[in-house]
Amino acid sequence: MARPQIFISSTFYDLKIVRDDIARAMRDLGYETIRHEAGEIPYARGDKLENSCYREVANCDILVCVIGGRYGSSSSVATGSITQNELRSAYEQGKQVYVFVDKAVLAERTFFNKNKSVEGVTFTHDRKVFEFIDEVDQLPSGNPLFGFENASDLISMLKEQLAGLFQRLLSEQSRKGQLQLFDELKASISTVGELAKFLSAKADETGLAFKDLLLPDHPIFSAIRRVTKNRYRIFFKDMAELTEWARAARQLHPVDESHWDAPDFKEWFKREQNNRGVEVESILKIWTGLFDNSGRLKPMGIAEWQDSYVAYEQQVSQSKDDDDIPF
């Protein structure tokens, strides 16, 4: 089974024990570590030793850089130390990097930054170490500096970071499935939309009424059934069929446009006696914007529907005998 590989980058002699403790803790977690002192870096014959280290960084998954008080050996192929260039190589390749700095060095760094230009001031640690830390601190992203006092402190923080990394990867894996489903849905919606456009165009070419396929679910039908308390299914394709339904099913007759209460609401009217012998007027009003210029019903979804588009009013007929009506 493949295991994550952690490259441990630091100066050697002053941090040897820390490096050993990190390697032991990571092995206990099931990780593999890469350290030059353990013979885990294959050195190429005829090439500089440090180049083999940089190549091995490319094979790792995570780089742990530990900065103490020593600057270490300078690189013979680039500016800076070998540790600096191992870290630079990891950043350039997009590796997950964790940088730990001795707290004593971090404490003196503040003093150094305030007094580095003052002549005669001496520092406990190599000034190049502070410049190295400044370089890390100025990187655009992924460069937190973790201060540590001892190996146990460092390992505890590293375990927390690795646990957080694992949790984030699991979360991203979960979201990946959701995003894939979302992309598939978008593709399906796009496909259906293109199919609808194609069929609609073909319908226009051949005289077929493709839009009629959408009409049975038009919200106007349920709205009319609700306001008129009609128990049966209602369906019509245009204004003419609606008028015929109103006449045949409800004895409602179209009102002349000049007598409409509102210019954009067509009306159908009837007057009849109820079971108490009182004359009652019924008026059905429907918004004309639901129909196109030729009188055909426009397709519409429930999200676009407004209840105000359809109204059904009933009132006692006004006559000379109104004072005798017991209402």
pLDDT digits over 107-151, tens only? 999 898 888 888 888 888 888 999 899 888 887 666 678 999 999
* SS3 category, 274: coil
Domain 5-170 fold: Rossmann fold (3.40.50)
Residue owning tokens 């918004």: 287
pTM of the complete model: 0.52
pLDDT given for residue 325 in this prediction: 39
DSSP count for the chain of H helices, then E strands: 8, 9
Taking the CA atoms of residue 236, residue 237, residue 239 and residue 244 in that order, the dihedral angle to the nearest 10 degrees is -40
Element (H or E) spanning 134, and its range?
A: helix 127-137
pLDDT given for residue 323 in this prediction: 47
Whole-angstrom distance, CA of residue 126 vs CA of residue 121: 13
pLDDT given for residue 260 in this prediction: 94
* Residue pLDDT tens, the chain, 327 long: 678 899 999 998 889 999 999 999 999 999 999 888 877 777 777 678 888 888 889 889 999 999 998 998 898 888 999 999 999 999 889 899 999 999 999 999 989 888 888 888 888 888 899 989 988 888 766 667 899 999 999 999 999 999 988 888 888 777 776 677 767 767 766 666 666 566 556 655 555 455 556 678 889 999 999 999 888 889 999 999 999 999 998 899 999 999 999 999 999 999 988 878 889 999 999 999 999 999 999 988 888 899 999 999 988 876 545 444 333
Whole-angstrom distance, CA of residue 194 vs CA of residue 202: 12
